Amino acid sequence: MKSRTVSISLVTIAVIMLLSTILTGCKKTHQLPGAVSSETAIQISGTWQTASMGYEFYGTLQPEYYVQFTSREIIYGHMRNGEFIPDHSDNIIHLTEISSGVFRIQAEASNGAHYTYLTSQNDHDVLEYYGTWKEEEFPTTYSMSASLGRVS
């Protein structure tokens, strides 16, 4: 009788956890080994810009995007009279500070595409863009024009 009670209790706990997940809208994500959740206090400071140029915004030639980071979002925008004007944002799924000032940012665009920004080994003011989360695909998905350089 005791083992039956334990089995019923475990099933009850599993059902409660499943319902809790469904009701709160939690989505399943895969945490990389050693990764720090984007919900921590890691902050990427400054304003960044894409390497690609040639976008006209408010009568000025600008980078394709200026970029700012929060702990949960990558905000893409433009500059108008020195003020950052947001255009759109993508969700940060995993944010890892590998060492002081060296980051791995895994993001998801609104269309579901996954990409990674990784601090350059040669220059900590450059975030290299890779159109994947899979490190083995980095060489074939690197984009210099989508990479970011810190401007402030």
The answer to whether 60 and 85 have CB atoms below 8 angstroms apart is no
Provide the pLDDT for residue 106: 98
Provide the pLDDT for residue 1: 52
Task: Please tell me the total count of domains within the chain.
Answer: 1
Helices (H), the chain: 2-24, 138-141
Q: Is 116 exposed, middle or buried (0-12, 13-18, 19+ CB in 10 A)?
A: buried
Handedness of CA 8, 11, 17, 19 (dihedral sign): negative
For residue 16, being part of any structural domain is answered with no
Provide the pLDDT for residue 41: 65
Length of the chain, please? 152
For residue 92, being part of any structural domain is answered with yes
Provide the pLDDT for residue 60: 76
Domain that holds residue 118: 29-150
Provide the pLDDT for residue 37: 44
Residues of the chain with pLDDT under 50: 2-39
For residue 18, being part of any structural domain is answered with no
